[in-house]
Copies of this chain bind each other. A is one copy, B any other.
């Protein structure tokens, strides 16, 4: 098994474990048990735990950019593209109920740790933010585009935190309906 494959396995396992158990709470032993490697061998692939975090964030940004590319290809209407983002919390409602939003829970944790990579983690939000603002500009709202993009992002985070705190999935569907109605007021 080559280095590239092992490295990718480490990143994939770390991504999942950071999401489910948190970054600080995830140990090398946890990742090692998942991948099937010994603890000491990690340092051949990564210089430190923070470097693994960097690779995980990079992978998440790349994955989200791919989602955006697909939504653009599948939906010609900007309003439908924004709706695709809104529907994310519905599609992933089971995981959100158990572990919250992968992006929001990571930035929240890194802020508490005063971790220097908080800015990097926020870039995952920025990818959505920029893209959503572009869609609102296409919807004829160029001046408020960024504000509306932030509003949609805040919606997703509010829903995720509350669904996670109460373990309530049903709540998500109601909030998505409410958000769809709101979005409709901006359609031409």
Binding site for B on A (CB under 8 A): 20-22, 24-25, 98-100, 104-105, 107-109, 111-114, 118, 121-122, 125, 147, 150-151, 153-159, 161-162, 164-166, 171, 174-175, 178
Contact = CB atoms under 8 A, between A and B. Distances in A.
A122 B171 CA distance: 15
Nearest to A152: B158
Given A157-B157, A162-B150, A165-B104, A99 B122 contact: no
A107 B161 contact: yes
Contact of A158 (B114, B147, B155): B155
A144 B114 CA distance: 40
A63 to B, nearest CB: 18
What number of copies of this chain does the assembly contain? Answer: 2
Contacts of A174: 147, 150
Contacts of A175: 150-151, 154
A161 B108 contact: yes
Contacts of A156: 158
Nearest to A164: B111
Given A122-B165, A154-B175, A161-B154, A105 B100 contact: no
Contacts of A108: 100, 104-105, 108-109, 161, 164-165
A112 to B, nearest CB: 4
Nearest to A168: B150
Nearest to A114: B21
A170 to B, nearest CB: 10
A125 B158 contact: no
